Structure 1
């Protein structure tokens, strides 16, 4: 259902972009929200659906594994997990950046790409049980570095205008301040926030269950230790 919902917004956005020939960007996918919305569709909807279908049909051993049993995670589940941690962090950063440094507008598309995207990842985060690992902050870092390199190539290599005024490479000092703020501050803080929410979510789940035995308590402690790796 959400795959159709998000694809509908993406198709409508591309349609509006193509119909409006006076837009200030030559390429649709120069904007970070458009990158990330596509990633959201790919990770949270399409790959999630494929993983769920594959595990329920072909890997039922994963569903019925015990606490002490180690079952190898299939590669598509690892890919889904990777995109999950990237899209969550980037979605929140986009919302914060949009209302902190740019001129926000109240159109339905702007709200969908810059506000509802974060609402969706937060709701999805609390509904699912995918874990968050501290050291995995490197994945959204790599994603942002790729976008920053793209912005340099697009602007300077293609002699195009800056994608964002705060990322104008004709003013390298200002652009580098933005890069450092995102890479060294925003991404780690947002990712650590999701890690804290991950611990909070799991504690709520365990509190809703019956009083755990000694074995369950030991298992919980082991989970918290593993979460830091």
Structure 2
């Protein structure tokens, strides 16, 4: 199966890519954004998926592509109007990933009131690690994750600090859009985003569960 992340060693078919913006207060503050009263949702095409081992190719139309390290959730059982109390039973796996963002392009689009797709949906803009079964995660709001660039710590995440937790995100996405088997949810990034440069090495860790590594094409 092409471009299929592995769940417990087996490839899984991916449906939609839901991404959540401004889900950590410190990250919203570092970009001068307000915190929203409900999850800020955007989509990426599945062609943006990039698995470990493939190089990150920065788009030629941007000079300011930022890394955003995030907990990624795989939906195993889709549905509509999923109750928050039942939401975690719909999760098949968890992983770590990158929501890459062409910040200069995004800022220009925001100023014009245009969509962010060019800034968020380019090829390779949705990096994802191998996934671990949901049964290995007792509480998704008790996880830590990190990103090192060239050996230097850039981002540290604690899921207890999410404005909207995993169960709430699943409930709201299913209410508004419906969720499908194989959907991925990129749950938002903590503070510390910064520009990537050709030749950078990125090391991502979902503590105690999975790690992944990417290199930016020179």
**TM-score, normalised via structure 1 length:** 0.23
Higher-Rg member (1/2): 1
More strand by share: 2
More helix by share: 1
Higher RCO, 1 vs 2 (CA within 8 Å, ≥6 residues apart) = 2
